[in-house]
């Protein structure tokens, strides 16, 4: 009897201190879970939350020092990577309505509005990532006036499959 009591207490303590993975957290927040969220009970919002969890694209900016062999100089380029887990490549996969913020001078910023599709990106084939999912990249160079890319924000319209369109995803990358 003492062993059973210790097992139950140890199980309760371990449940309290272990972290949930995102899928367990989503399940707990549905209407059938122990802590229903504000979107619980609405099937469309529950599926949006699930699809964003399963098919959420990963975006990042990397600054890389690059050597220009022709001019014998070094410059910094900013690379935007967009990774789509659990998706196959197809035309019309995503559209990114983005606002670029460029550093101009000491205190000024310049904003540019752009709309990009997968045609405006290159497929990153030889990068340091898993190759079972499409990863796109775009390179931004310093302008002639010395402007550097600081951040990208906007809305990503993404279709992981031709028949499934996710709700628009707001992004902010620095």
Nearest CA-CA partner of 167 in 43, 29, 45:
45
Q: How confident is the model at residue 59 (pLDDT cuts 50, 70, 90)?
A: very high
Q: Is 82 exposed, middle or buried (0-12, 13-18, 19+ CB in 10 A)?
A: buried
pLDDT in tens, 24-46: 889 889 988 888 999 998 998 99
Q: Is the dihedral of CA 32, 36, 40, 45 positive or negative?
A: negative
Q: Predicted confidence band at 97 (pLDDT cuts at 50, 70, 90)?
A: very high
Q: Does residue 153 have a pLDDT over 80?
A: yes
The CATH T-level fold of domain 57-173 is Immunoglobulin-like (2.60.40)
Inform me whether the pLDDT recorded for 119 exceeds 90. yes
Task: Give the other-Cβ count within 10 Å of 7's Cβ.
Answer: 10
The pLDDT tens digits of the residues spanning 74-90 come to 888 899 999 988 788 88
**Higher per-residue pLDDT: 151 or 14:** 151
Pick 167 or 129 by higher pLDDT: 167
Kindly tell me if the per-residue pLDDT of 126 is higher than 90.
Answer: no
d(CA 21, CA 120): 34
3-state helix, strand, coil in the chain (%, to 5): 25, 40, 35
Q: Cα dihedral sign for 72, 63, 80, 127? A: positive
What whole-number distance in Å separates Cα of residue 54 and Cα of residue 86?
8
Residue 67 above 80 pLDDT? yes
Q: Any idea where the domains of the chain sit in the sequence?
A: 2-52, 57-173
Positive or negative CA dihedral for 123, 120, 174, 88?
negative
Give the pLDDT score at 129: 66
């Amino acid at each position: 009897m003492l062993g059973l009591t210790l097992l139950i207490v140890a199980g309760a303590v371990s449940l309290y201190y272990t972290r949930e993975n995102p899928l367990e957290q989503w399940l707990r927040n549905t209407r059938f879970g122990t802590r229903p969220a504000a979107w619980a009970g609405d099937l469309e919002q529950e599926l949006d939350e699930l699809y964003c969890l399963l098919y959420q694209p990963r975006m990042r900016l990397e600054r890389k020092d690059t050597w220009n062999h022709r001019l014998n100089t070094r410059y910094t380029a900013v690379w935007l990577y967009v990774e789509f887990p659990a998706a196959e490549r197809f035309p019309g996969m995503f559209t990114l309505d983005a606002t670029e913020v460029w550093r101009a001078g000491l205190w000024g910023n310049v904003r540019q509005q752009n709309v990009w599709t997968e045609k405006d990106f290159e497929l990153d084939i030889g990068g340091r990532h898993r190759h079972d999912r499409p990863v796109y990249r775009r390179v931004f160079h310093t302008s002639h006036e010395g402007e550097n890319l600081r951040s990208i924000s906007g809305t990503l319209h993404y279709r992981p499959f031709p028949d499934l369109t996710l709700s628009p995803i707001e992004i902010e990358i620095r």
